[in-house]
């Protein structure tokens, strides 16, 4: 996918992250795209949903799967503002997503190389192309600002 489309899609995910922050949730947003069509979107909701699995990526995958009527999402790209955690990375593999593009790295919980790399486990039966650092500064700033306001 051309870099301009990657940044355009990441900006849409950033909008969802900002919406999550406005609701008091950790600001992470995600969208699932096939071609140029958005199939699903999500923003963190574990607090409001009382659900530890309500991460932006999981919600975006669920939304896309409902819309297309299939739990497998081949040929899709998932854009997310923060490196997926191990749970989300595993769900992405199981959903057969073709590509993941993320913004900020997560040195405390990242499952795409920071803490672990789920996507490179050779025993898994699906490979996902992973690209990190798209709009990393902007994605990281949204998170830093959120936590600075919480600490103030």
Q: Which residues are catalytic?
A: 57
* Beta strand segments in the chain, E: 29-34, 37-43, 77-82, 99-104, 129-132
CA distances for 87 relative to 8, 12, 23, 84, angstroms: 26, 23, 23, 8
Termini Cα distance of the chain? 40
User: Pairing mode, if any, of strands 29-34 and 37-43?
Assistant: antiparallel
């Amino acid at each position: 996918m051309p870099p301009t489309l990657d940044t355009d899609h990441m900006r849409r995910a950033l909008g969802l992250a900002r919406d999550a922050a406005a609701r008091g949730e950790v600001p992470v947003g995600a969208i699932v795209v096939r071609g140029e069509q958005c199939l699903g979107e999500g923003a963190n909701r574990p607090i409001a949903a009382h659900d530890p699995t309500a991460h932006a990526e999981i919600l975006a995958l669920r939304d896309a799967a409902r819309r297309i009527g299939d739990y497998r999402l081949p040929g899709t790209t998932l854009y997310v503002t923060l490196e997926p955690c191990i749970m989300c990375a595993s769900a992405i593999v199981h959903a057969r997503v073709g590509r993941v593009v993320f913004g900020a790295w997560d040195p405390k919980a990242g499952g795409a190389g920071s803490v672990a790399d789920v996507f490179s486990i050779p025993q898994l039966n699906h490979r996902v192309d992973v690209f990190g650092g798209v709009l990393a500064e902007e994605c990281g700033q949204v998170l830093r600002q959120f936590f600075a306001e919480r600490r103030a």
